[in-house]
């Protein structure tokens, strides 16, 4: 999320002016929490927490969801964005930036090669048979809200909507994932590699396969251990590749060999030869802690409009 520092965004900027609000962000980075849980952890009243949450909702930092409970409807709070980039200088008129966004269901992969443990699940049931890779080709796979495999890869095609005169400036990908252990094991490191257009942009070691606590969205019928992953944001920019704002590699968006009219290809890999081959569990809507599939933002510059505006400026002079 890119923000121009100006009075227009004061509601957002003020979210970081309070130590209490920053502490809430730190807590929600670990997992979604209710108003009551935040109040108990911070040792302040629920009324104060509610005021802070309302402030951060107005700024677009926090999202809330009411869940039916035995005593009323507890409000669950979660982070609404993964990363913010503050821009201090206004972009020059010939550097007009924009973006388009797509959300790809986790079951709509275009290619795969996986080994057990593995499987797919929709919001309502297991799809096919567990630990049988053949079902990754089943037409019902497109309904998957959760998939997992012990080693191998899944690949997704990201639509390339850029036309002549538009140049990509950055690709940002947000997804919820973790390791894959039989049943679950929260101390189960996995080296997960991210490839774009067959170029490895970086590798992240996930600490485990999380299943000790019931996730916010994982359906009640699910009894196979894994509950949720971690929400990670991969960003490939002109300056390099970053994961949650931390530099991951020197691979730039220009290194990806992007061609107009050809899809981007995202591949998630758990290599058998990796130091920690701990598999991959991937979560979509209605599974895990975040109600999203694979969210992609493609930032680009309209070079044709830049040229037109520069020409107009020269004529006016």
Q: Following DSSP, what letter does each residue of 121-158 receive, concatenated?
A: E-SSSEES-TT-GGGGGSGGGGG-SEEEEEEEEEEEEE
- Last residue of some domain: 43, 64, 86? 86
Q: Does a structural domain hold residue 313?
A: no
Q: Are residues 250 and 149 in the same domain?
A: yes
Q: Are residues 34 and 155 in the same domain?
A: no
Residue 291 falls in which region: left (phi positive, over 0), alpha (psi -120 to 50) or beta: beta
pLDDT of residue 6: 78
Ranges of the chain with pLDDT below 50? 92-95, 306-317
Question: What backbone phi and psi angles, to 5 degrees, belong to 17?
Answer: -90, -5
Give the Cα-Cα-Cα angle 215, 221, 227 (nearest 5 degrees).
25
- How do residues 214-233 score in pLDDT, each as one tens digit? 999 999 999 999 999 999 99
Q: Are residues 171 and 227 in the same domain?
A: yes
Q: Does a structural domain hold residue 22?
A: yes
Q: Are residues 51 and 186 in the same domain?
A: no
- What are 227's two structure tokens? 């509950």
| Coil vs helix vs strand at 87 | strand
pLDDT of residue 145: 98
Instruction: Tell me how crowded residue 229 is: count the other CB atoms within 10 A of its CB.
Output: 26
Q: Are residues 144 and 75 in the same domain?
A: no
Beta strands in the chain (DSSP E): 2-4, 33-34, 62-66, 75-79, 85-87, 97-104, 111-121, 126-127, 146-158, 166-178, 190-196, 199-206, 230-237, 240-243, 246-249, 264-270, 280-283, 294-302
Domain count, the chain: 2
Q: Are residues 241 and 269 in the same domain?
A: yes
pLDDT of residue 313: 45
CATH number at residue 33: 1.10.10.10
The answer to whether 283 and 176 are in contact (CB under 8 A) is yes
Range of the domain at 289: 97-303
pLDDT of residue 67: 72
Q: Are residues 127 and 271 in the same domain?
A: yes
Q: Does a structural domain hold residue 191?
A: yes
Residues near 69 by beta carbon (within 8 Å), at least 6 away in sequence: none
pLDDT of residue 207: 97
């Amino acid at each position: 999320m890119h923000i121009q520092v100006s009075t227009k965004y004061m509601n957002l900027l003020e979210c970081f002016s309070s130590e209490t609000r920053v502490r809430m962000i730190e807590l929600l980075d670990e997992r979604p929490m209710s108003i009551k849980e935040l109040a108990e952890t911070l040792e302040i009243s629920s009324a104060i927490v509610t005021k802070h949450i309302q402030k951060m909702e107005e700024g677009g930092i926090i999202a809330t969801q009411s869940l039916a409970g035995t005593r009323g409807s507890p409000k669950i709070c979660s982070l609404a964005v993964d990363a913010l980039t503050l821009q201090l200088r206004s972009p020059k008129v010939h550097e007009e930036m924009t973006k388009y966004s797509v959300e790809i269901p986790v079951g709509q992969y275009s290619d795969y090669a996986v080994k057990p443990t593995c499987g797919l699940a929709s919001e309502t049931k297991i799809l096919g048979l567990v630990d049988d890779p053949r079902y990754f080709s089943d037409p019902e796979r497109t309904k998957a809200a959760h998939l997992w495999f012990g080693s191998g890869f899944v690949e997704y095609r990201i639509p390339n909507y850029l036309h002549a005169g538009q140049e990509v400036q950055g690709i940002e990908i947000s997804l919820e994932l973790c390791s894959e252990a039989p049943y679950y094991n929260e101390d189960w490191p996995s080296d997960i590699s991210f490839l774009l257009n067959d170029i490895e942009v970086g590798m992240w070691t996930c600490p485990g396969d999380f299943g000790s606590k019931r996730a916010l969205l994982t359906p009640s019928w699910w009894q196979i251990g894994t509950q949720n992953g971690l929400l990670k944001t991969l960003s490939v920019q002109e300056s390099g590749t970053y994961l949650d704002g931390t530099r991951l590699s020197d691979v730039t968006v220009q290194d990806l060999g992007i061609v107009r009219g050809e899809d981007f290809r995202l591949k998630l890999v758990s290599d058998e030869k990796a130091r920690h081959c701990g598999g991959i569990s991937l979560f979509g809507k209605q599974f895990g802690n975040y109600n999203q599939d694979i969210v992609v933002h493609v930032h680009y510059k309209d070079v044709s409009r830049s040229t037109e505006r520069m020409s107009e400026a020269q004529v006016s002079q």
